[in-house]
């Protein structure tokens, strides 16, 4: 069963992220309290998701212990292939979302995770195709840690990416 593992927001651009057990979302606007929340927020900027399994795989490959929240995605999932949801509607708890595009890593994440022996470019390359999904919020409501994620078809993950 696919579930929400964690929820994060950042109140200002490049500001710190904070974890919340629940967040209020508004259709067409985003997550209340997040830096991108405003009237007529573009669909690809309303909410971002990332798979906990892909973060774990990145950590194993590079010998790191990066917390998923450091990657600056709003919703951390477990048990679902987010890449398969690009262009599709899916349900998180009682809220419908639509996958817009893959959320490839940016220079900010590259710099945040760079270490001696691991350049920002290598970080970005290591997270390509596993940086998550940008989604549009179609229903207003509340998202909670532990919410079940449902999509048409079988997008469950049984591997560890």
Under 8 Å between Cβ of 53 and 136: no
pTM to 2 decimal places: 0.89
| pLDDT, tens only, 16-58 | 899 999 999 999 999 999 999 988 899 999 999 999 999 999 9
**Is the pLDDT higher at 154 or at 49?**
49
Helices (H), 76-131: 107-113, 120-127
Domains along the chain? Answer: 3-151 (2.40.33.20)
pLDDT above 70 for 107:
yes
> What CA–CA distance (Å, rounded) separates 4 from 68?
12
């Amino acid at each position: 069963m696919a579930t929400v593992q964690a929820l994060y927001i950042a109140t200002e651009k490049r500001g710190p992220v904070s974890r919340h057990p629940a967040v209020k979302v508004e259709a067409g606007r985003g997550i209340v309290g997040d830096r991108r929340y405003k009237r007529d927020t573009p669909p690809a900027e309303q909410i971002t998701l990332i798979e906990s399994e892909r973060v774990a795989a990145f950590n194993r490959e590079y010998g790191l212990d990066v917390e998923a929240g450091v990657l600056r995605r709003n919703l951390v999932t477990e048990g679902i292939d987010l890449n398969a949801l690009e262009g599709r509607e899916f349900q998180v708890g009682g809220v419908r979302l639509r996958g817009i595009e893959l959320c490839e890593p940016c220079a900010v994440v590259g710099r945040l995770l760079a270490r001696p022996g691991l350049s920002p470019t290598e970080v970005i390359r290591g997270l390509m195709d596993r940086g998550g999904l940008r989604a549009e919020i179609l229903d207003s409501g509340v998202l909670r840690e532990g919410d079940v994620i449902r999509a048409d078809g079988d997008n469950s993950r049984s591997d560890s990416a």
